[in-house]
Amino acid sequence: MFKITRFLKTISSIGHGLIVFMILFLLALLIRQAPLSIKNSIVSSALTTIFYPAQRLISSIDDFYGKSAENELLKKENAELRIEVYKAKEGLQELIRLHELVRFDDKWDYPIITARVVGRNPGRFLTTVVINRGINHGLKEEMPVFSMRGLVGKTSKVEANHASVQLLVDPNLKLSVMGKRTRAVGFLESVNAYHLSVLIPTSAGMKVGDTLITSGLGGIFPKGIEVGLVKKIHKADLEVMRDMEVVPFQEFSFLEEVFVMQKEPNWIVQEMLK
């Protein structure tokens, strides 16, 4: 008994490595004596146990890249759907705007052509825009241009398929207007390509907030197109006159679609006014 205990202590003192080696050695002997089916089962289990972590890692990597690719595809499809939604919303808004514009056809005795703004002058101040209608669509120079908000200007240069539109804020454009309430007539102009003003007699009784419309004088613009509102009234150099600041109904920076009225200028009136 003493000898056995001493033997075990000796083995323990050698270390755990020897114990593991002896266990594995005994297992090898047992496997060698075991039937073939048991050997295959043991080897298969051992290999599965050894390679399982690696297989699990590879599987995780494949899942990661697979899900990553799927996420990228979903993101792309989501972006494409967003673009389609934006296009649909913009198309609906454009349809509403065009429907509003078409309603103006019944207000005038002249044919109306709808056009889209496709360009703007590159200068510091916006005084001209380009539209996608021209001679081939029945346009000529000096035709009135307006939107569903109010007067925009007139055609100034017309090519085959496009035309330039001179805006109200162009200092070179002079326009005869009248008070919608008072019927007093004055001339609208811009001196700085930004602000609009009208000189009108003091006796006209114009007030802040009054609406100005085209007077029909001058031979180009028909009577009754709304132009803008009186913002402020100042004393002019002449005591009998008042200088009115005018805010146009149409914000020119946001122009998208316009009307062109196929009304040719009355040159007889033009000549008589010179």
pLDDT digits (tens, 9 = 90+) for 85-104: 656 666 666 666 565 555 55
- Which range, of 16-30, 200-214, 251-265, averages the lowest pLDDT? 16-30
- Separation CA 203–CA 186 (nearest Å): 12
108-273 — its CATH code?
2.40.10.340
Asked whether the CA dihedral 223, 225, 226, 232 is positive or negative, the reply is negative
- Helices assigned H by DSSP within 103-144: none
With a cut of 70, say whether residue 111 has pLDDT above it.
yes
By the 8 A CB rule, do 213 and 107 touch? Answer: no
pLDDT digits (tens, 9 = 90+) for 28-59: 665 566 565 555 565 555 555 555 565 565 66
Q: What is the mean pLDDT of residues 224-251?
A: 91
Q: What is the mean pLDDT of residues 1-23?
A: 54
By the 8 A CB rule, do 232 and 208 touch? Answer: yes
- Separation CA 230–CA 204 (nearest Å): 13
Write out the two tokens for 136. Answer: 């081939």
Check residues 224 and 37 and name the one with the higher pLDDT: 224
Residues in contact with 209: Cβ distance below 8 Å, sequence separation at least 6, in sequence order: 229, 230
By the 8 A CB rule, do 100 and 259 touch? Answer: no
Of residues 258, 224, 247, 249, the one with CA closest to residue 146: 258
- Separation CA 260–CA 270 (nearest Å): 20
The CA-based angle 269-270-271, given to 5 degrees, is 90
* Start-to-end C-alpha separation, the chain: 141
Q: What is the mean pLDDT of residues 133-140?
A: 96
Most confident segment among 98-102, 133-137, 183-187: 133-137
Check residues 155 and 107 and name the one with the higher pLDDT: 155
By the 8 A CB rule, do 150 and 227 touch? Answer: yes
With a cut of 80, say whether residue 222 has pLDDT above it.
yes
Write out the two tokens for 76. Answer: 């792309």
Q: What percentage of residues in the chain have a pLDDT greater than 70?
A: 62
Paired residues of 243 in beta bridges: 199, 234
Q: What is the mean pLDDT of residues 213-225?
A: 90
